[in-house]
Amino acid sequence: MDFGFGLSPSSAVTLDRVDLSLYRKLEELNPDIRTCIACGSCSATCMAAEYSGMSVRKLILNIQRGADVSKMLSCCMLCGKCTMVCPRGINTRKVILDCCRYFK
C-alpha cells in the first residue's frame, strides 16, 4: 500500500518487474537485435541524436530495462545511417518501425 511517503523513485532496475512484452515482440520480428554488441556506432552516426538523443543501442537496451523510449524516437527520420554502420548487420530501420508500431 502506498502511503505517499516514498522518497525519490529508486534508480535501480528491478528486472523482475519490467514489462518485456514489447521486447519479446521485437525479438520475435527481429531476432538479430539479440546480436547487438552495444558498440554505439548507431548512436554516433544518428542524424536525430542531436535533437532527441536517439540511439538504436539504447532503444534495444531501454526496452529491456523498462525505460521510456518515446522521446528518443520522436525525431527519428529513418534515414538508414544506423543500418549502414552496424557491424552486426542489424536491420535497425525495421527495428525502429516495429518498435513504433507495437509501442503502447
Partner 1 sequence: MKESVVIIGGGIAGMETAASLLELGYSPILVEQSDHLGGHVASWYRLFPDMTPASEVVASLKSRLDGVTVFLETGIQFINRLRDGYNVMLSNGVSIVAKAVVMATGFKLFEAAKKEEYGYGIYDRVITNRDLEKWFSGIPDERIPSAPWNIGFVHCVGSRDVKAGNTQCSKVCCMTAIKQAIEMKEKFPDAEVYCFYMDLRLFGKKYEDFYISAQKDYGIHFLRGRVSEVSETIDGRLLVKAEDTLSGRPVKINMDLLVLMSGMLCNPAAASIASMVKAGADDSGFLRSRDNVTGVVESERKGLFFAGACTGAKTVPETIAEARSAALSVHNYLRRPR
Partner 2 sequence: MRERIASGFDPFVLPFLVGMAFVLLYCFFGALRVLWQLPREDRRRFLLSLFIPATAWKNVKDIFLNCLLHVKLWKRNPVLGYMHSSIAFGWFMLIVLGHLEVYLFVPSRLHLFYYPIFFNYFVAGADMSLQGAFLFFLMDLFLLVVLSGITLAIIKRIRSDIFGMRRTTRASLVDTVGMYALWSIFPLRLLAEGFTAGISGGSFLIKPLNWLLEVVFGTEFLQNGANMLPTWWAYSIALFVFMVVLPFSRYMHIPAEMMLIPMRNAGLRIRHPRRGFALMEVYSCPGCGVCIDACPMSVKKGNLKDCTVYLNRQIRRGNEKRIEEISDKCLLCGKCTEVCQVGVEGPALRIAQRSRKEYGLSPDYAAVDVGRLSAAVADSPEVLYFAGCMTQLTPSISRSVCSVLDKAGVKYRWMDRTEGLCCGRPMLQAGRFAQAKEMVRRNTAIIKSSGAKVLLLSCPICYKMFKEHYKLEGIEVVHHSVYFDRLRTTGKITLTKGDLCYAYHDPCELGRGCKVYDEPRNLVGTAAYIVEAGVSREASICCGGSLGSISLSFEAREAMTRNALDNLCKGHPDAIATACPLCLSTFSRYSEIPVRDIAEVVDASCQG
Cα–Cα nearest to 54, from 67, 43, 64 = 43
- Is there a contact between 70 and 103 (Cβ–Cβ < 8 Å)? yes
Query: Which region holds residue 91: left if phi is over 0, alpha if psi is between -120 and 50, else beta?
Result: beta
Residue 70, contacted partner among partner 1, partner 2, none, CB below 5-8 A by kind: partner 2
Report the C-alpha gap between 30 and 42 in whole angstroms: 17
**Residue 94 near partner 2 by CB under 8 A:** yes
**Residue 68 near partner 2 by CB under 8 A:** no
**Residue 100 near partner 1 by CB under 8 A:** no
Nearest to partner 1 of 39, 100 (CB atom): 39
Residue 39, contacted partner among partner 2, partner 1, none, CB below 5-8 A by kind: partner 1
**Residue 40 near partner 1 by CB under 8 A:** yes
Taking only Cα atoms into account, the Rg of the chain, rounded to an integer number of angstroms, comes to 15
Nearest to partner 2 of 15, 80 (CB atom): 80
User: 525505460: which residue's cell?
Assistant: 67
Site for partner 1 in 48-77 (CB under 8 A): 49, 55, 57-58
Report the C-alpha gap between 62 and 60 in whole angstroms: 6
The residues binding partner 1 (CB under 8 A) are: 37-46, 49, 55, 57-58, 84-89
